[in-house]
Structure 1
Amino acid sequence: MSVPTQEKAGSERVSSTSYFSSDVNAANLKGRIWRKLDTHLLPLITLLYLMSFLVAGMAEDLHLVGLQYNIAAAIFFIPYCLVEVPSNVLLKVFRPSRWIPFIMVLWGTIMTLMCLVNSYQGLVIARVSLGLAEGGLLPGLTYYISLWYPRQMQAKRIGTFISAAAVAGAFGGILAYGIQHLEGKAGLHGWQWIFLIEGLATVLFAFLAYFLIHDYPETATFLTEEERQFVMRTLEDDSKGQATHFSAKFVWQALADWKTYVQAINFMTILITGYAVALFTPSIIHNLGFSAANAQLLSVPPFACACVCTIVVSFYSDRLNLRGPFIVLCSTISMIGYVVAYTTSKPGPGYAAAVIAASGAFPNVAISVVWAGGNTGGHMKRGIVLALVIGLGNLGGICSSFIYYQPPRFHKGHGTVIGCLGMSIVCSCIMMWTYKRLNKEKEEQCAREGINEGMKDLYCELADESPLFR
């Protein structure tokens, strides 16, 4: 579904130019303001999302057997999913500049201490603790972006920081290759050094983030008063005056909305694909005939391509004001990659398949999140919907942890992902039809009952059920 463009959002948006002096070019000033926001917000949240880790060599060093590694990977997602809704509520209550650094300190400390894990039981406890601490990050950052930018401008911003996941996948391969040279230093294995270094870096960065994160446009010190008024007016016009305060009824609105769960299923199928790429690409490459060290290095190009595709697709999604068609397109591309992987046993085509699969999988993560949030009205309901979609969707990580167990062809894993991509296409088509139908019904209601934007205060607490919301 497309959302109203800034130029077509109504006469009130055009009047926002009145905040500026008449002797300057208003269009250039608007562009400068959004670039100013990008400069102050995007580098920071991209670095926040980049804080991830790799567990190369752990299975051998902890003597994990059978499905123990898979269970340790999967157990993370259960607490991760459970904390996402309360985390977004707490982010609203305590402010982003306090809540996000707090959870960063928690997960950075846990990650650091994971270098001391010496048994399967300890690994499971550490993974559960890490899921509890880290679960609020993605829904929190996504919600945070939605508080600063109108809907049509969110995809490329969210795509930018989500592309950090692909960068982390690429960087992780290089990091793992390099840290192998620390094997045995100070009595630690290579994977222990990874936890120690990245954990300490996360804690350090969390303390810096406390001073660098700006909470909301109305309190941003890097904006002038005129710029703040312009951003706030633009956001108000885009939301059609939807409520911004906290109330328990907005939580119930989100929980009772059936569209939330279709979007969650869509996101789950997308994440199964993404996690499959992120968790198992090195293993797939290794089982195609490459050495373990070269497999780490050769995992870089698929993730690098995924990063570029995520940014490009997000940019054009905003520019063309479309979400669903891009999800269908990217799911189809990723499906082609998995079909090739399913049908070949040769290293060359198999590696090309990994690149194609990753290039289609990662852009969908950003677009689907923006789509769910952009079609939800009101600050609090949007925050809860994003947390529900991301939280329930991340249960797909459990599936991803168990489907790749038949090397070297991984037929069941690839087949499962192909089915998930097909489900993503079906869910996207359902939601495109639904949003188009709802917009038509609301337009007819406004025309029939004489509802206009001057009456938006009457509907401010109806969230996206408001007849003015598109």
Structure 2
Amino acid sequence: MESKESVNGDLREPESRNSDGHDSTTRPPALTRREQKQLWRKVDLRLMPTVAVMYLFSFMDRANIGNARLQGLVTQLDLTGNRYNIALTFIVIKKFRPSRWLSGITMLWGLITTLMGLVKNYPQLVAVRVCLGLAESGLGCGVFYLFTLWYPRNMIQTRLGIFWGGATLAGAFSGLLAYGISFMSGTVGLLGWSWIFIIEGLCTVVVGFVSLFILVDLPETATFLTPNERAYLINLKGTSSSLTPVAEHDLTPVGEEEQFELRQLKDALIDWQVWFQGFLNLFVALAVYGITLFLPFGFNTTISQLLTVPPYVVGTVTVISWGIWSDRIQIRSPFVFAGLSLCLIGFAINISDASIGVKYFGTFLIVAGGYSSIPALLAWISSNVVGHYKRGVSISIQVIMSNIGGVIVSNIYRTQDTPRYILGHGLELLFIGMGLILTPAVALTYMRINKKRDERMREAQEKGVKYVPDELRRLGDRAPDFRYTL
């Protein structure tokens, strides 16, 4: 047995390593830069269009209750008082499943959405919304987690941005589609709101069915890749330097089965960053969900539906461009802070006595800032949490916190507060302000920890000792050579 020595409480051993500090046995098969670009293009083409369209329809099916409201939902089902708000609060978080389940739950919630168009009273609406929450809750966190198994952390926000861009674009499509469907009002005795649910739900079923034949699971089962490309992904590792975006043990080898231990769940639940970023997700979600409830501005149905389109188109462009930019410079916090700042300005405008035109401009800021912050936050926590199970639990907590935001928002934007929504906008400003304080606090904490770890690594190098790879992997993001993404 090789001798080990303890420095600052960490196990280390002298080892024979390559000049770059990595064990040669863990190096992935060599791919040229051109081959790597071809590989990621293949992966993107098989993953991104499918999951983006799935999420687009998922978000449309969640947000279409706002469009249905404009087409007579409230009047016909007698959603007086807070009944409309209560129907929106039933969100159930289900444990996410591997990608092979995503197509199935897509078809399931599409069927439920279709049936929502046939409800006749308020209790039936609430019951169907509960079922919809059960079916939909596994998609977002399941796809987020799937991305972490395919992409290294220095590439993930671009992909999350494209994926989340589907949700942003859904805001535009939902308004356009609802406007077109409104002309069917009265067909076979059903009002426009019923046809919104029925047609959008059936479209979702089709998307889920088609995805059964397109969606891929994990790299080791990806038949569209060459054996060398699969081996490269399975063994993908980064470098172990504080100046590089990926630490050697940042990701367990892609697709590798990691034995579950209770400590992994405990590590996620007691990790400060999981909860701090969870609250940031809550604050951003309040803005994202809130905009869907007041954007129509009280105009007639046709104008209200069409007014929802431009802000979401601008938001989609912002989401994707910020994602590419963030991956390029490998920093997340400035984009979260910038997004929250745009939301703050947008809500401040809308709570004021400004003209409708100025308030409408404010909605562009809210949509662009809120929707762009979501993938930045998900990429941030995914980059800074190591281990399949800990990362999975951490992502699910972020989604739970976001959905709590949806519960809160659906009850603070009350019909009796139109058109200024003093209560809703005021609380939005409060929570966004808290987010603007918390974001730099988290980034500065990461910076301080990284600095301490730099000092510890220098001490270790001076003493001529190296960390034991197995111990580093067990320590995960608490390992001394791991550097948090700021």
The TM-score normalised by the length of structure 2 is 0.85
SS of residue in 2 equivalent to 1:467: coil
CA distance in 1, matches of 2:290, 2:480: 41
1:318 to 302, 327, 337: 327
Aligned: 1:393 with 2:399: no
Aligned: 1:240 with 2:248: yes
Correspondence list, 1:220-259, <5 A: 220-235=222-237, 238=246, 240-241=248-249, 243=252, 244-247=257-260, 248-259=262-273
Partner of 2:33: 27
SS of residue in 1 equivalent to 2:154: helix
Change (3 A) 1:300 1:453: farther
Correspondence list, 1:40-59, <5 A: 40-51=46-57, 52-53=60-61, 54-55=64-65, 56=68, 57=71, 58-59=73-74
Contact 1:110 1:129 in 2 (8 A): yes
Correspondence list, 1:29-178, <5 A: 29-51=35-57, 52-53=60-61, 54-55=64-65, 56=68, 57=71, 58-74=73-89, 76-77=90-91, 79=92, 82-83=93-94, 86-87=95-96, 91=97, 95-97=98-100, 99-178=101-180
Partner of 1:462: 475
Measured after TM superposition, the shift of residue 361 of structure 1 is: 1.2
Partner of 1:201: 203
1:192 to 191, 194, 216: 194
Aligned: 1:377 with 2:383: no
CA distance in 2, matches of 1:468, 1:11: 12
Residue identity matched to 2:146? Y
Aligned: 1:262 with 2:276: yes
Contact 2:460 2:466 in 1 (8 A): no
Q: Identify the range of structure 1 (435-444 vs 238-247) with the bigger mean alpha-carbon deviation.
A: 238-247
Aligned: 1:179 with 2:181: yes
Change (3 A) 1:34 1:13: farther
SS of residue in 2 equivalent to 1:199: helix
Q: How many residues align?
A: 438
Q: Identify the range of structure 1 (379-388 vs 110-119) with the bigger mean alpha-carbon deviation.
A: 110-119
SS of residue in 1 equivalent to 2:232: helix
Contact 1:330 1:361 in 2 (8 A): yes
Residue identity matched to 1:304? V
Partner of 1:273: 287
SS of residue in 2 equivalent to 1:195: helix
Structure number having the greater helix percentage: 1
Correspondence list, 1:287-436, <5 A: 290-405=299-414, 406-436=417-447
Structure 1: give runs of 5+ residues left out of the alignment: 1-9, 21-25
CA distance in 2, matches of 1:348, 1:452: 65
CA distance in 2, matches of 1:413, 1:227: 51
CA distance in 2, matches of 1:272, 1:219: 39
Alpha carbon RMSD of aligned pairs, Å? 2.2
CA distance in 2, matches of 1:175, 1:215: 32
Alpha-carbon displacement from aligned partner over 1:261-282 (angstroms, at most 9, x marks no partner): 1111110000000101123312
Alpha-carbon displacement from aligned partner over 1:63-91 (angstroms, at most 9, x marks no partner): 210110011112x22x2xx32xx22xxx2
Contact 2:293 2:413 in 1 (8 A): no
CA distance in 1, matches of 2:248, 2:219: 17
Query: In terms of Rg, which structure is larger?
Result: 2
Measured after TM superposition, the shift of residue 11 of structure 1 is: 6.4
CA distance in 1, matches of 2:469, 2:312: 45
CA distance in 2, matches of 1:224, 1:13: 25
Contact 1:404 1:410 in 2 (8 A): yes
Contact 2:29 2:232 in 1 (8 A): no
SS of residue in 2 equivalent to 1:440: helix
Q: Identify the range of structure 1 (133-142 vs 26-35) with the bigger mean alpha-carbon deviation.
A: 26-35
Measured after TM superposition, the shift of residue 370 of structure 1 is: 0.9
Measured after TM superposition, the shift of residue 421 of structure 1 is: 1.4
